[in-house]
Structure 1
Amino acid sequence: MYFSGGAELLFDKKKKHDVNLPAKETPWTIKDLLPWMKDNMLKERPELFIQGETVRPGILVLINDADWELMGELDYSIQNKDKIVFISTLHGG
């Protein structure tokens, strides 16, 4: 999992995280992943990353270098070795 554009500042200031999700009976989806990230990875200011059940507007999500909108967004079933990237387009001024 990768973070850039400032999103990494919310995740321990690290751009790359190797993540092993716990086993569960149904496949992991992005909808499952986001609250797990909030509880297990997010270090500060969750309101800058999560809004409701999804990412906040201004956060681009790429799955294997493709826009998540093409992949089913929250319903995408995560596969082993997927490259998931979160890029913040929000900048202070």
Structure 2
Amino acid sequence: MSEAKNDGTIAITVEFSGGLEMLFSNERKLSLTIPGKDENGAKTNIAFLVRHLCNTVMKDPRKELFVLDDTVRPGILVLINDADWELEGEDKYEIEEGDNILFVSTLHGG
């Protein structure tokens, strides 16, 4: 298990697919450095990452297409290192150095 760097940050890769990239300036893959601890001093988890993405990365005002009730909205698959986040504790999963987190929308307009 890798720990946060000396400066307290964690380097991760975040990817978007299925149309979600439109909400993130059409970027499909981001290399991010995030704090190793959240606002309360707890280890950074997916819930923190989702807030961070909405507050600092997403330029599109339609945040409701990504989150609902402070979590990833239904219809968006989340994979943590190629495993379904439901197997990893969902938004409580504590992010590790080098993690790859993929958000895939399964919702299609018509």
Provide the TM-score with structure 1 as the length reference. Answer: 0.95
Computed over aligned residues only, the root mean square deviation of the Cα atoms, in angstroms, reads 1.0
Structure 1 stretch 55-64 or stretch 16-25: which is displaced more? 16-25
1:28-87 residue CA offsets vs partner (Å, 9 max, x unmatched): 001111111100111211010011121011100000000000000011000000000000
- % identity of equivalent residues: 51
Tell me the CA shift for residue 26 of structure 1: 2.5
The alignment of Structure 1 onto Structure 2 pairs a total of residues equal to: 93
User: Whose strand fraction is larger, Structure 1's or Structure 2's?
Assistant: 2
Distance across 1 between alignment mates of 2:69 and 2:53: 14
2:77 is aligned, of 50, 57, 60, to 60
Distance across 1 between alignment mates of 2:29 and 2:103: 10
Counterpart of 1:20? 33
Distance across 1 between alignment mates of 2:93 and 2:36: 17
The one-letter code of the counterpart of 1:38 is C
Q: Which runs of 5+ in 2 are unaligned?
A: 1-13
Aligned residues of 2:35 and 2:44 also touching (Cα < 8 A): no
Question: Which structure's CA Rg is the greater one?
Answer: 2
The one-letter code of the counterpart of 2:24 is F
Q: Which runs of 5+ in 1 are unaligned?
A: none
Distance across 1 between alignment mates of 2:71 and 2:59: 18
User: Which runs of structure 2 are paired with 1:18-57 in the superposition (5 Å)?
Assistant: 18-24=31-37, 25-44=41-60, 45-57=62-74
Aligned residues of 2:15 and 2:103 also touching (Cα < 8 A): yes
